[in-house]
């Protein structure tokens, strides 16, 4: 019985939790990551210490693995395509391409019938001013590429001056998104296997602080038809992308339950960490099952819960969390608690699944 | 923030699950085990490949670790004592000494007021015949040391001839235990921290097949006063041993709920694997908390469940288990499914905790 080896591009906490889930199913893992002793490699069977687009490293990864996946959406698309010539790569490189550019992403979502905020491409200060005028002076200006955790964004309220904003965000390709008045934010973690079967975990209700996810609460305070709409969007998106693996889709919920997709992450997602404590099958196991060809697991949740991120110095409160009942702690093996850095998370079970 | 390093003597599945739990709490792990790429080392931060009593290896282990623990009870007592001169070793070497010899174990249990089967030391064929006569011709002859999973045992029913039995079991130190007519077997997984706080998981009801644990079911079909008696025994035992860490205690339950201790394991225990799927804090995390000085976790169980071992060729049915709802799979990274070898286990959640 030779265990399959799963290659994981990226060595952060998501890779770490994927490696842990893989080991429980007897898969071996090999991490490609330039930083030695990264969070993922501490638990994986091996690490190739090299840049994500290092030719020799990619050749080695393909040779040593039965399937390759990734734990962050900024894997160079060229590297994913090159890899895919010699080894199965899930999710497909096309999903990376769609997710890496906010303009491409929104256009794609709309093309499969998933509503988003209205948006305009912004390639100059003049573009910005024209677009702002169209949106009544309000909107969110974002870099099209490489933004995360609220970085690379400027919010315009009515009357704010756009002067110099294009240059402030680097003078590169930007996007202006119309301002969405939302009641709450939710996300759906969905999985699709190679046969096209899609399963979704229950929608989580998310609260962000300073642009970083703070809590995910289950169940979300939404009506069943909103949850159904979110699942339906996930199914259409995953079929369209011919996706294999787990995806995270964030939505705004407006008045009356109108659902607006905010962004997608073609990987396991921070707002799905609760699944590890409140479901039999976690999002990490689900992703490993999908990419390794095992049947997808039932996504039922046995408990209500609240997941909370431990950011920066929050890590020093671990002993207090450890004293509390019903609190599941998961830390990422990072030694330096820098401000804004995700150091771990806790999930508090709040009772048997209520609905 | 320098992470504490926990040394683990032994590289099997118990060490593997301890390493996994340790990593979630930001501890690093270093395994001492002669077999390279053992189940535990696949997930640990490092391995010293050497015999358990290798002097140089023990010196290195003490130097590189903040605390040392073990995952099997046959760690040489001398090695544990030598280690304890230069690094904290939990559970204490005395617990190993008690658990390694069935005669010492039963005498110790009786000394702290915990009933066991009646027993006689057997150091010759004549001893055996005299003891059998005392027990009405019935009893179980066992090696005093190194027996596990039913190996090294001979059962005598009334009328069975003891001829040659002493030599069959190696002609070494043996013990004859009186035959116990029991209604069921249960076990308690208990933990004690360095301040003397003891917490117990709910008793599991165990079924063995061919001397190997087959299933553990929660809740056990026992009255509250039997459960209380088991917890009470655990508290007395752990206090007596000045124990730090998790212990497994197996009991026979006789007619009317009489509780007879069968054996103790000074480590995490197979009949506690269910805690990983049905509790917020698993026995593995509990052990790590105890030996590393974190507060013990609440042992409450959120779900009823049945744990089942996957032995030998059972490993080939993993894909079928993966298709089933509410089944949590945990495999041990072993490549050769030999008969009787523990390859993994599954835990099926059967509903919210019923009592």
What is the C-alpha to C-alpha distance for residues A341 and B7, in angstroms, rounded to an integer?
29
SS3 assignment for chain B: CCCCEEEEECCCHHHHHHHHHHHHCCCEEEEECCCCCCCCCCCCCEEECCCCCCHHHHHHHHHHCCEEEECCCCCCHHHHHHHHCCCEECCCHHHHHHHHCHHHHHHHHHHCCCCECCEEEECCHHHHHHHHHHCCCCEEEEECCCCCCCCCEEEECCCCCCCCHHHHCCCCCEEEECCCCCCEEEEEEEEECCCCCEEECCCEEEEEECCEEEEEEECCCCCHHHHHHHHHHHHHHHHHCCCCEEEEEEEEECHHHCEEEEEEECCCCHHHCCHHHHECCCHHHHHHHHHHCCCCCCCCECEEEEEEEEEHHHHHHHHHHHCCCCEEEEECCCCCCCCCCEEEEEEEEEEECCC
Q: Is A338 on the interface with B (CB under 8 A)?
A: no
Query: Left, alpha or beta for A16 (phi > 0: left; psi -120 to 50: alpha)?
Result: alpha
With CA atoms as reference, the chain A residue closest to B345 would be A24
CB of B355 within 8 Å of a chain A CB? The answer is: no
Report chain A residues whose CB lies below 8 A from the CB of B300. 325-326
Q: Is pLDDT above 70 for A2?
A: no
Per-residue pLDDT reduced to its tens digit, B104-131:
999 999 999 999 999 999 999 999 999 9
- Tokens standing for residue B192: 């004690």
Classify each residue of B241-251 as buried b or exposed e, where b means 16 or more C-beta atoms within 10 Å of its C-beta. Answer: bebbbbbbbbb
Does the structure show a pLDDT above 60 at B226? yes
In chain A, whose CA is at the least distance from the CA of B298? A325
* Cβ pair A42:B45 closer than 8 A: yes
Taking contacts as CB-CB distances below 8 angstroms, the residues of chain B near A325 are 280, 298, 300
Whether chain A has a CB inside 8 Å of the CB on B277: the answer is: yes
**Residue A320 at interface with chain B, using a CB cutoff of 8 Å:** no
Q: Alpha-carbon distance B270 to B189, whole Å?
A: 10
Q: What is the pLDDT of residue A146?
A: 80
* Residue whose entry in the numeric block shows the structure tokens 């090696």: B143
A26–B331 C-beta distance less than 8 A: yes
pLDDT at A51: 97
Burial (Cβ within 10 Å: 0-12, 13-18, ≥19) of residue B78: exposed
Angle (deg, nearest 10), helices A93-100 and A102-111: 110
Instruction: Say if B344 is an interface residue toward chain A (CB within 8 Å).
Output: yes
pLDDT score for B150: 66
C-alpha A7/C-alpha A67 separation (Å) is 6
| Interchain proximity B1–A337, CB inside 8 Å | yes
B2 touches chain A (CB under 8 A): yes
Chain B residues with CB-CB distance to A43 below 8 A: 20, 23, 43
Point out the residue among A16, A26, A326 whose CB comes nearest to the CB of B298: A326
Nearest Cα of chain A lies from the Cα of B213 at a distance, in angstroms, of: 20
- R_g of chain A computed on alpha carbons: 20
User: Rounded to a whole number, what is the distance in angstroms from the first to the last CA of chain A?
Assistant: 42
Whether B298 and chain A come into contact, CB under 8 Å, resolves to: yes
The answer to whether B330 contacts chain A (CB < 8 Å) is: yes
Question: Which residue of B lies nearest to A336 if distances are taken between CA atoms?
Answer: B1
- Looking at residue A90, its pLDDT comes to 98
Is there a cis peptide before residue A91, judged by omega within 30 degrees of 0? yes
Q: B303–A300: do the CB atoms touch at under 8 Å?
A: no
What letter would DSSP give residue A273?
A: T
pLDDT at residue B2, as a whole number: 60
pLDDT single digits (tens) A61-107: 999 999 999 999 999 999 999 999 999 999 999 999 999 999 999 99
Instruction: Look at residue A149 and tell me whether its pLDDT is greater than 70.
Output: no
pLDDT at B172: 87
3-class secondary structure, A99: helix
Average pLDDT, chain B: 95
Residues of chain B contacting A3 with CB distance shorter than 8 Å? 333, 335
| B336:A280 CB<8 A | no
Residue of A26, A46, A276, A295 to mutate, testing the B interface (most B Cβ within 10 Å of its Cβ):
A26
pLDDT band at A15 (very low <50, low <70, confident <90, very high): very high
Q: Considering only CB atoms, which chain B residues are within 8 Å of A297? A: 322
Distances from the Cα of A103 to the Cαs of A100, A136, A141, in angstroms?
9, 20, 12
Q: Is the pLDDT of residue B289 over 80?
A: yes
* Closest CA relative to residue B341, chosen from B351, B331, B352, B355: B331
Min distance A115 CA to chain B CA atoms (Å): 33
| ipTM computed for the complex | 0.94
pLDDT in tens, B309-352: 999 999 999 999 999 999 999 999 998 999 999 999 999 999 99
- For the record, the structure tokens of B41 come out as 């080392």
Among A26, A298, A330, select the one facing B333 at the smallest CB separation: A26
Asked if B118 and B135 count as a contact pair (C-beta separation under 8 A), the reply is yes
pLDDT > 80? residue B101: yes
**Cα within 13 Å of Cα(A175), Cβ side:** 19
pLDDT attached to residue B349: 98
- With CA atoms as reference, report the closest residue to B141 among B166, B105, B108, B104: B166
A150 has pLDDT over 80: no
* Band (B248; pLDDT cuts 50, 70, 90): very high
Q: How confident is the model at residue B149 (pLDDT cuts 50, 70, 90)?
A: low
Return the closest-CA partner of residue A343 out of A10, A13, A9, A70. A13
User: In chain B, which among 42-101 make CB contacts under 8 A with chain A?
Assistant: 42-43, 45
Question: What mean pLDDT do residues A299-303 have?
Answer: 97
- Chain segment A282-295, per-residue pLDDT in tens: 999 999 999 999 99
Q: Which of B26, B43, B322 sits opposite A295 (nearest CB)?
A: B322
pLDDT tens per residue across span A157-177: 999 999 999 999 988 899 999
Report yes or no: A331 at the B interface, CB cutoff 8 Å.
Answer: yes
* 8 Å CB contact of B43 and A26: no
- Contact predicate A30/A44, CB 8 Å: yes
Q: Which residues in chain B are closer than 8 Å to A275, comparing Cβ atoms? A: none
């Amino acid at each position: 019985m030779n265990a399959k080896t799963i290659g994981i591009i990226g060595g952060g906490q998501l890779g770490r939790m994927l490696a842990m889930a893989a080991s429980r199913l007897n898969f071996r893992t090999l991490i490609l990551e330039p930083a030695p002793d990264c969070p993922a490699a501490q638990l994986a069977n091996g690490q190739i210490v090299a840049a994500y687009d290092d030719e020799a490293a990619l050749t080695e990864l393909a040779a040593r693995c039965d399937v390759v996946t990734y734990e962050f959406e900024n894997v160079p698309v060229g590297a994913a395509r090159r890899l895919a010539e010699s080894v199965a790569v899930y999710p497909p490189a096309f999903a990376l391409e769609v997710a890496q550019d906010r303009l491409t992403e929104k256009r794609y979502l709309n093309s499969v019938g998933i509503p988003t905020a209205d948006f305009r491409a912004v390639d100059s200060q003049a573009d910005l001013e024209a677009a702002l005028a169209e949106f009544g002076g309000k909107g969110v200006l974002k870099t099209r590429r490489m933004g995360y955790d609220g970085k690379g964004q400027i919010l315009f309220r009515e009357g704010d001056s756009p002067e110099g904003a294009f240059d402030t965000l680097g003078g590169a390709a930007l996007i202006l998104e119309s301002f969405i008045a939302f009641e709450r934010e939710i996300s759906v973690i969905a999985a699709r296997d190679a046969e096209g079967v899609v399963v979704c975990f229950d929608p989580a209700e998310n609260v962000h602080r300073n642009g970083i996810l703070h809590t995910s609460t289950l169940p979300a305070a939404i009506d069943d038809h909103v949850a159904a709409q979110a699942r339906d969007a996930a199914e259409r998106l995953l079929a369209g992308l011919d996706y294999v693996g787990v995806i995270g889709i964030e939505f705004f919920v407006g008045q009356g339950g109108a659902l607006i997709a905010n962004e997608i992450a073609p990987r396991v997602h921070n707002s799905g960490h609760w699944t590890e404590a409140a479901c039999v099958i976690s999002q990490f196991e689900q992703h490993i099952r999908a990419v390794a060809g095992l049947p997808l697991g039932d996504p039922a949740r046995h408990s209500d819960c609240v997941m909370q991120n431990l950011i920066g110095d929050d890590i020093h409160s671990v002993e207090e969390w450890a004293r509390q009942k019903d609190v599941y702690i998961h830390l990422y093996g990072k030694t330096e608690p820098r401000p804004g850095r995700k150091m771990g998370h806790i999930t508090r079970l709040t009772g048997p699944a209520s609905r």
